[in-house]
């Protein structure tokens, strides 16, 4: 794995760790869907942005990619990720207690499968 990619992945993981440490727990799908305060909404956004970065960076370095976003430099906005998560949640009952990062992974696998 190239040094740049390892450095980027490490930086991403650190940023996720900082977000998690600030909240001291994962953000669940239920918390993401129904924030109680403006601070909760900001925490949800920071958490999801960290999860996006972590998933894109970790998947880019895999031989057996879990999802395949289009383009040479895949990107995913907060709004796109939120839409994917909500679409997946509407089809999946009993998912409110799942961490948002895991739900994002499941929704990316479903929406952008790889053709191996």
Please give the mean pLDDT across all residues of the chain. 85
Cβ density class 70-106: b for 16+ within 10 Å, e for less: eeeeeebeeeebbebbeebbeeeeebeebbbbebbbb
Please indicate whether residue 8 or residue 101 has the higher confidence score (pLDDT).
Answer: 101
Lowest-confidence range among 4-8, 28-32, 78-82? 4-8
Please indicate whether residue 23 or residue 92 has the higher confidence score (pLDDT).
Answer: 92
pTM, whole model, 2 decimals? 0.76
User: Which domains are delineated in the chain?
Assistant: 3-111 (1.10.890)
């Amino acid at each position: 794995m190239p040094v740049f990619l390892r450095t980027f992945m490490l930086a991403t993981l650190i940023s996720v760790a900082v977000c998690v440490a600030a909240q001291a727990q994962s953000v669940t799908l239920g918390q993401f869907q129904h924030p109680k305060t403006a601070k909760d909404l900001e925490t949800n956004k920071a958490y999801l942005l960290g999860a996006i970065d972590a998933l894109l960076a970790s998947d880019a370095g895999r031989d057996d990619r879990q999802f395949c976003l289009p383009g040479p430099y895949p990107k995913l906005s907060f709004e796109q990720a939120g839409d994917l998560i909500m679409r997946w949640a509407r089809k999946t009952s009993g998912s409110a207690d799942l961490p948002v990062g895991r739900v994002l992974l499941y929704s990316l696998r479903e929406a952008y499968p790889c053709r191996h």
